Structure formats: structure tokens, C-alpha cells
Structure 1
């Protein structure tokens, strides 16, 4: 088969479409003939040499895919060869074939084409696990998501609105903010020209956000805590703004707030299976019913993954960038 390989860390040119051995499904795994994958910020970090796959995972980038089951490994039940699926991966999505634990499979939502389904597993699993399973966002609460125009952001806006939350977003362009508004965002903050803490407190009458989903990390830590309401919950899922920061713990104590950090890729298989089961139960009906939809910026051939990474790094896209095998 062919896959995108990384001979050594570097820029987008480090991604090379190469012939590699076919994977073989092990115990509890299925082999998927990949139709499409999607680009995630984590793929860029892996290409740069800062985010190695977990032990035993495919060395190729790609944290999600869609396709058809080509073979079942020992011990797999409930799925059949030929089933159209999408899957959460620990790696290997940028390839013509990939093996995945059966617990990380999802059926393609009713009425959705197979290519588009590739953009759902990572964002839905990330948003549902963090915003709802960890931070317990509830109807009537105020939710702030940074990077509202990203794949994570566009899904977070929709799921938060679907459960009855008030949604605030930050983004760096008028086009991205307008896209968020069309998806249901109530509070639009241009982080280039506005201080998100001031704007959020202004709109909420000084109350702040009950839940903040953050992809920035250190650069926003203190301001995120300032933005929290009493009993607020900050969930950090990215480090685009650095790893280390100082925090006034007095503010945290006064607000009786919580700061949590999570990652998805390296979790044990049982935890991933639990998250995927929750996504299938809670999110898939919303997708099938049209209340939540994937946002696709563009679709490109997988062999052109280097160009897709350039687009990702320019941050001008809205939603997901798909790669077709």
C-alpha cells in the first residue's frame, strides 16, 4: 500500500507518499480500506517531531479515517467485511489501509457520504469527552471555545448549542466569526482586536463562562481562569501557546474553579471505546437529524498532504481539511 511517511521531522516537505508494507489486523482489530482521512493540528506537531505516536501505534500521521472494512482480526464481532465505517485512530490515517481496534469504530451516519464521515471521529470524540464527560456542560450555562473556526471549534459550537448552552467563541478573522455565528454562536470575539475576558464579562454581566475549552495553553492560562464563572471549569486540550505559565491560585480558590488537562491519543483502549460509545449514543443522532453537521473547508488528494499541512499552518481554513486516498 501507499502511506504518508515522515523520514525526519521538518516542514510540510517532510511528508512523502511512499510504498510501505500492508498492515495486518491483530486481536480485536479490523483492517480498513481507507477512503479518506482528515488533517488535525496534532498531525502537524507529529511532523515537526514533537508528538510521537503511542507505543504500538502506526508511525504514519492521521488520527481519523473513513472507509470500508476489509478484514476482521481474531475476536471481533458486530462488524462485517464491507461495512462502511469511520474510526478514531492513534495514527495511520494518512494511508490506503489502516488497522484499528473495533471499539474505535463508528458507522457512517445516516445520509452522509463516506468521504465526509472522515472528519467526524476526532472532533466529536474530543468535544464530547472534554466538554460533556469531563466538564459536564449543562443547559443554560455559558461556554467559551477558543479557535471557534477550527474543526474542534465548529463542532464544539454546535454540540454546545444542541444541549442548550450559551456559546462564546474567539477567532482571528471576520470570516471565521461569521461561520461561527451561522453555526449558532451567541458571542463573537475577535482575539486580534478584543480582550476575550473583558468582552465575555461585559456580555455576561460580569459572571463569565461556566466552561472554557482551550487549545492555546500557557499563553491563555491566567486569562482563562479570569474568564471563568464561580464553579467554572477550564479544560485544556492544546499547547499552541506554550507549556509553562504562572497562575494566581487565589483566583482559582475564590472562584472554586477547576483546571483540567486531557489528551485523547494515548488513552487506554477501554477509555477510547467508552468515549466512542458515548459519541455514538449522544452525537450520532444529532448528526443524523441534521442538528449537527460536519464543516469541511476543502478536500485534497492524500498524496498532497504536504500542501494540506501548509493550509493548516496558515490558519485561514474554517472547519476540516480532508484527504482522499
Structure 2
């Protein structure tokens, strides 16, 4: 463990040298961030790769004011320094955190309210795969859409990071997930995480969902697709259903059957996590800590599948994610993490 008194002046980090393709990601020596009041400095063992990172690299998702310009929204590592009035997490604590940027680096400063303890026995690469997706699903499906025991949840992209988190969080809270997938391998993975059924994306999704729910439709939908899928979701929804829009991989505009939305009393909500205030993110973290993290301590808990890349190979990880053929999460590992 590094003590606050012998921290280096610089660190290895990945910058967006040229917005656009993956080759614009460049490993460089970068000044060490200093924790501000209410922040802790984390020595990063691993950092997750997420859709917003790709959007930022393309020049389509700017960091909020005051945030690090480096990509990377989730990390796992060890607390090595505390800013003023930031004593919630002790020096040396193994933690995972939702960052506001800067995760693709050997050190990152994070508001202490966005930091959670790592589950006991987990590796950095495993814990780094959780925060961004779990904060996103907790904010949208849990806190906003109010998923409850006994509900059914349709999850698009069920074999990816967001989809896997939605399946597992729904299961913890007593809801049942149906995963939308594009291959038998991805269907098997979604069921391994707890989905009670899967639907192939090439099928008539609404018809199959209605059959699986006895004609009722699903109570909640997690949509990462957008585009023409919006109308399918409306048809697949139960009365008083809630569709949570998290991403628009297939298009940001769509014709939507408004009369059907009215007839079913549906709610359609959208959200982005990064621009939320630190106070809001701290509230999400508290909900995760209270309602969800205890389940991860079970010896029977199924961890997400991960593919690990060295930090300096961030461009390769981005290319893999853009291929949309991976299962689970992609994670960047630092030299410190590799020595774990």
C-alpha cells in the first residue's frame, strides 16, 4: 500500500488524444490528482469499460464541470489519501467507486459518498465491473421505476454489463427477469445470472413476452436499444408498466404509439448518470449498500464474466466493446492490480 507521504508526482493514464476512433486513446504520464475536500484518492487496481466511455472518446459525451477529462467511470482499488472532511473510508480500505471521470489511470480522486466497500474475497478486476452498471440500474429501475417483488422485468442487452446488472438486481429484490439476447451463448449467460427466460432479439419479442407472462405483459422494461425497439416495448408492457431508457444503441429517435401508451397508463423515463450531483450519487450508493451489497457476500453469488485488458490496451478494449459480441464486462487492469 502507498502511504499519503510517498505518493508519486505522476501516474500512467489514458487520455483522449484525438476524439473519434479507438486509436485516439493514448497512454501517457499524467499529473497525480489530489483529493479535494470530501474526496478520497484511490490507487486503482482495475477500471471498468462502459458505453459512456466510448461516447466520450467519440466527442459525444463531455465530462461535467470540474470532472477529470480522462475517461473511466468506475474503479476498484485501495484508498491511499483523504481530502479534508473525508474520513468515511480508511487509508488502506479496499473499495470500488463510481467516478466522475478519470478512472483510466493509476490513481483517481472520488467524492467519498460514491465509494463502496469491495465485497470480501473479490479481486479488483471483479469489483471494478460493478459500480457504473449497478448505480445506473439502482437509480433507474429501483429508485425511479420502483421495481417490486413479484414484478416481471424485460431486459434488453441481457448479456452485457447493464443487462447483467438489471437481471441480478431484479432477482435480489424479488422480481423475475426475461432477457433479450442475440445468441444461445448469451441466453445461457443471462439464465446463469438469474433470468427465468430469454427471448432472441430476432424473434417477435412482444408476442413471446406476452406468451411468457400469460398475456399480461411485463411490468418493467430496461431498454438499451432505442430506435424501433421503443414501439416493441410499448406493445410488450403490462398496464401501468414503466419503460426505463438507458441507451439508444440503435437510434435516438423513434415513432412511438402514443394512444397505446395512454391506454396502458405507461411511464417512459430516461436518465443519464454522470451529470447527477455528488449528493444524488451518494444517495444511490447508500441504497446499494443497504439493499443490494449484502447479497454479493453469498458464496453462491454469480460474478459477471469479465475480459481483462492492460490499462495501456484501452483502445483494444474499446474495439472489443464496439464489436458488441462480448459477454459480461470489459475491464482495464493497472500494474498495481496485476500484482494483486
Structure 2, gaps ≥5 residues long:
1-10, 335-340
2:88 maps to 78
2:167 maps to 157
Q: Secondary structure at the match of 2:309?
A: strand
* 2:112 is the counterpart of 1:102: yes
- Per-residue deviation at 1:291? 5.5
Deviations, residues 215-240 of structure 1 (Å, cap 9, x unaligned):
11233112111111000000101121
Distance (whole Å) between structure 2 residues aligned to residue 96 and residue 183 of structure 1:
31
- Per-residue deviation at 1:109? 0.9
Work out which of the residue numbers 298, 309, 316 in structure 1 matches 2:318. 309
- Per-residue deviation at 1:180? 0.8
Distance (whole Å) between structure 2 residues aligned to residue 162 and residue 74 of structure 1:
36
Distance (whole Å) between structure 1 residues aligned to residue 115 and residue 67 of structure 2:
16
2:338 maps to none
1:50 maps to 60
Over 3 Å counting, the alpha-carbon distance change for 1:224 and 1:290 in structure 2 is farther
Q: Secondary structure at the match of 1:38?
A: strand
Count residues with an aligned counterpart. 324
- Per-residue deviation at 1:21? 1.1
1:242 maps to 251
Distance (whole Å) between structure 1 residues aligned to residue 310 and residue 291 of structure 2:
32
Work out which of the residue numbers 159, 176, 180 in structure 2 matches 1:170. 180
Work out which of the residue numbers 279, 294, 307 in structure 2 matches 1:298. 307
* 2:144 is the counterpart of 1:134: yes
Taking only aligned residues, the RMSD between alpha carbons, in angstroms, comes to 1.2
Distance (whole Å) between structure 2 residues aligned to residue 141 and residue 134 of structure 1:
15
Structure 1, gaps ≥5 residues long:
none
Deviations, residues 174-224 of structure 1 (Å, cap 9, x unaligned):
1101111122212211112x0211110122222111000111123311211
1:8 maps to 18
2:262 maps to 253
- Per-residue deviation at 1:131? 1.3
- Per-residue deviation at 1:15? 0.7
TM-score normalised according to structure 1 size: 0.96
